[in-house]
Amino acid sequence: MTARPAAPGKRAATERPAAPGKRAAKERPAPPGKRGATEQPAAPNKRGATERPAASNKRGATERPAAPRIRAARARADEQARAATPKRRARRVKAKSEADDAELGPPRPPELDWDDTPSGSAEEARAQRWAARGEELFQQLADHGASLHEYRADLKEGRFVWLAPGGRVSAEATARLLCSWSRATSVLVMAWADPLVSGAGIERVDGMPAEQDSIDEAGAWQVAMAAADACGAAYLYRVSSPQAWYFLALDDLTFSPKRASFHPGAPVGLVLRAIGEVREAIGSRAEPADVIRDRISALSDSLIHQARYAYRDTDWVARLERTGACLMHLAKRIPRASYSAIAAGQRIDEWLERELAVELLNALSLIEDEWSLFG
């Protein structure tokens, strides 16, 4: 039979295209407007087998980028981050430990950073010797459970004690004043040259000046250690206050004190002495305004500190705090070089003005008169 033409809109059986996604068995040319099977595009969203990409999220071997390098870089970054974290934690732990030691530990002699290289210097040998004695003292206190106890000093009686939390004296030693060093003026005064405490200090040491100016902290320690050597002290102890350092020679340490209680002496003498020094500095006009302000501020801090520390639970607390507040007000009367002071129209000079100096002297005289009633 002859081949019947296909119906309109139909194709002959021999010309029927392959099913979707399939190819014709033979390379039969396509009808007009069509391409051959070899050029037939893939189904929608598909590609030919020769152009078919790799599986999902994959590429052909020849087109695959250097992913291992990216992963290696990320891995190195992760390793660095993991390695850096313990270092930060270690620093925080160390800082917290040091803060705890500073808060809980008792006052200790300074950690002097001396070179271990033998040099034959007498000062270095002296410093190492007294540092070893200081460690020996604190080791004895630790062995008797008194290393964390507060201390008190009564120079009038020559008594230095450590107090347990309940107020009982846990350790005791005799005390003599070696010298004092002012933190505001950097002036060091030996005990025998101070009329207010000369009776509680060591005797004059030949060859040592009674007073020295422009002494720093290390220099104050050197003078104190030399004086302790001269008087044959067993231990050297520094008592610190906001105003000054007091270096004491301790002897006859005992953990079986004769008196189990301690009552501090009246602070009248120390208050009058400190106020007298401030009045002399203002009246002589030998110190700049900044130094005078620092003197008065340091004395104020010292009295408030003593009220809350050595004289707490005594009748002197209110009087010491009130005097400290008055002194702080006087210190603020001395203008400080700042933008606010200039904006307020205050005159900023290196030296005290005469009118302000007279006001300060009159106020200090009133405080002296008040404390002299208890002397």
Q: For position 264, what pLDDT does the model report?
A: 83
For 9, counting Cβ atoms within 10 Å of its Cβ (0-12 exposed, 13-18 middle, 19+ buried), the class is: exposed
What are the percentages of helix, strand and coil residues in the chain, rounded to 5?
45, 15, 45
Count of C-beta atoms within a 10 Å radius of residue 43: 10
> In the chain, where does DSSP find H-type helix?
67-104, 122-143, 217-231, 268-284, 289-308, 317-333, 339-343, 354-372
Per DSSP, what are the bridge partners of residue 163? Answer: 150, 169
Mean pLDDT by 10 residues, the chain (375 residues): 46 44 44 45 43 43 42 47 41 35 42 49 92 96 94 90 93 96 90 85 95 94 97 95 89 94 86 89 89 91 90 91 96 78 63 92 95 87
**CA 235 to each of CA 134, 149, 232, 248, 265: distance values in angstroms, whole numbers, following the listed order:** 7, 18, 9, 8, 23
Q: 131 with 109: CB under 8 angstroms? A: yes
Q: For position 25, what pLDDT does the model report?
A: 40
Q: For position 127, what pLDDT does the model report?
A: 94
| End-to-end CA, the chain | 149
CA-CA-CA-CA torsion sign (70, 72, 78, 80): negative
Closest C-alpha to 313, from 201, 166, 183: 166
For 138, counting Cβ atoms within 10 Å of its Cβ (0-12 exposed, 13-18 middle, 19+ buried), the class is: middle
pTM for this model (two decimals): 0.60
Q: How far, in Å, CA of 249 to CA of 108, rounded?
A: 15
